[in-house]
Chains A and B, each alone.
Chain A
Amino acid sequence: MGWFQKGSSEEREKGKLNIVEGMWIKCAFCRAVVYRKEVDQNFKLCPKCGYHFPLSVPERLDVLLDPGSFQEWDADLSPGDPLAFTDTQSYLGRIEIYQKKTGRRDAIVTGKGKLQTSPVIVGIFDFGFMGGSMGSVVGEKICRAADRAIEGNTPFLLVTTSGGARMQEGILSLMQMARTSAAMARLHEAGVPFISLLTDPTFGGVTASVAMLGDVILAEPKALIGFAGPRVIEQTIKQRLPDGFQRAEFLLEHGMIDAIVSRPRLRQTLHSVFRHLGAGV
């Protein structure tokens, strides 16, 4: 697990949203330099290749939910430091930096809202917070969201983007895989729909647990999704990886996901999924 790299969020943002004098951005997929306004006005899609630029949490909520319907839960949950972990910097010090930078306490936002007037519970990972890594807070918020989904028989939608487990929490971060999976198993027994939407990138401990447990699993076009990071695989097998490896299209081809959904069609597709899996239709 823990395939995210130190400082990778900044590097990633630089790479992906390479800002050229503010008006232009570079597509991480086709490398075309495109007009930012055009991207912003069309769900943040690359006008050349259709790559889906990463969305911030507020942008994701805008794309997903009925305007003004979102109510956040557990926003005040903050991580402890079970290992008193320090590498070149202390874990708590690092957390503080990311909390200041993002205005969030940890790497996920959960809450309830409405999608085409139907209630839905959502969890949205924030890659900008330590690479969207899953530690105790992410695990806890997913479990609590699942509890509420059972209570209200409300469908649960999880939007993932993560480098994997948060290694600064050591074994406790690994255990978040077990506890979120256990929460999904309870949701399953209660007959409440769980949908996961995998976005670029989703790796490691998040993929190998909650992300791949959706009743229906959707992904955004060209999103990189996998268990092991591409560099780890290359170092292990000493071969170059084939083109398109671990992209959403590759996962669809291999039967790992149900569908690839572009952002303009997302609400409509989710509504249809909930209609077919949810109560009362």
Chain B
Amino acid sequence: MRDFLEFEKPLKELEERLEKLKKSGSERKALPRLIRILQSRLTKTEQEIFGNLTPWQQTQIARHPQRPSILDYMKHMCEDFLELHGDRAFGDDKAVVGGFATFRGRSICVIGHEKGQTFKERVKRNFGMANPEGYRKALRLMQLAEKFKRPVVTFIDTPGAYPGIGAEERGQARAIAGNLFAMSRLKVPIVAVITGEGGSGGALGLGVADRIVMLEHSIYSVISAEGCAAILWEDATKTQAAAAALKMTGAELLKLGIADEVVPEPLGGAHRDAEGTSQSLAQTLHTQLNQLLTTSTEQLLANRYEKFRQMAALADD
């Protein structure tokens, strides 16, 4: 059973009526016609809703509890995912998953946030909010990838890095900074995919890359719409306005020159067809990796530096 978001209520109603009708087993002659009518109304309503998503609705899709995560993508896109654990210093952060996998015949390093799909798992994964150990595990794996010359693909989906006492004690800021620093000079190609919620520094900690890919309904922002509304508007009810003002959807980031490519999702969002979404994403990754792997390391690093160096908006630009 899939979860319906608030704005999907009209769909829920139509789908339920349709289901009931199909199951009724009624012999009525008009039944097939009724089903057809209802089906076409459903399709039309879906197109209306999903064709005109507001930034806040997009945010809700990006945060959908059934949104596919790195573990789903591993299942549908890669073979023999070998998960590796631990930061070799303090612990194993379950909000960050990483290891190596075979992607279209090639060994790649994969790292991503994992929010978990059931409530129990979400608690175990700390809702995808990593502690410093998560970033340090990611760094350790990236350095392994560099040593063995494997490209790195990251899957970003987090509300943000965890704000807690232990996180501060163990250097959350330094852990993220360390990743930005190392990723900017890592001598293998890096592709970052924003799969769901790209929440601020916690997202960027896996996000310094040669290519930044966003799924159609993913978001990427310096602060959550809620946080921004609370601080700038001083009014929690202004979340929708903040979501729009922050310009955090794939389409907006493409316009701003931050995202390199936006991968289309099935109507309604990636959770409606994780396998189909994986196939589209795999195609993009395949193309991007092929381009990057033919670039010399020196050129790769020069291009990466230049890419980020250009990310500024100055007056009279």
Contact = CB atoms under 8 A, between A and B. Distances in A.
Contacts, number: 212
A167 B174 contact: no
Nearest to A82: B313
Contact of A207 (B173, B181, B204, B313): B173
B256 A182 contact: no
Nearest to B233: A87
Interface in A146-179: 165, 167-179
Given A165-B222, A189-B185, A179 B256 contact: no
Contact of B223 (A2, A189, A236, A242): A2
A81, A174, A227, A256 pick with most chain B CB within 10 angstroms: A227
Interface string B211-255: 000000000111100011001111000100110011110000100
A85 interface: yes
A261 interface: no
A88 interface: yes
Nearest to A207: B173
B208 A178 contact: yes
A207 B173 CA distance: 6
A245 to B, nearest CB: 7
A73 to B, nearest CB: 14
B222 A170 contact: yes
Contact of A171 (B201, B222, B242): B222
Interface stretch (A44-52, A120-128, A133-141, A270-278): A133-141
A182 B305 contact: yes
Nearest to A76: B315
Interface of B (DSSP majority class): helix
A176 B221 contact: no
Interface stretch (A25-33, A54-62, A109-117, A209-217): A209-217
Interface string B158-180: 00011111011111111011101
Given A170-B248, A171-B248, A254 B171 contact: yes
B164 A6 contact: no
Contacts of B247: 83, 170-171
B30 interface: no
B184 A185 contact: yes
Contacts of A210: 177
A149 to B, nearest CB: 15
A21 B180 CA distance: 47
B20 interface: no
Interface of A: 1-2, 4-6, 77-83, 85-88, 136-137, 139-140, 143, 165, 167-179, 181-186, 188-189, 204-205, 207-213, 226-229, 232-233, 236-237, 239, 241-242, 245-246, 250, 254-256
23 contacts: A2-B223, A82-B256, A136-B314, A165-B223, A170-B247, A172-B313, A174-B222, A182-B184, A183-B309, A184-B181, A185-B184, A188-B181, A189-B185, A208-B161, A208-B172, A208-B176, A209-B201, A213-B177, A226-B173, A228-B167, A228-B168, A232-B163, A245-B168
In the A-B complex, the 9 residue pairs with the smallest Cβ-Cβ separation, listed nearest first, are A228-B163, A181-B180, A182-B184, A82-B313, A80-B313, A136-B312, A78-B315, A87-B232, A207-B173
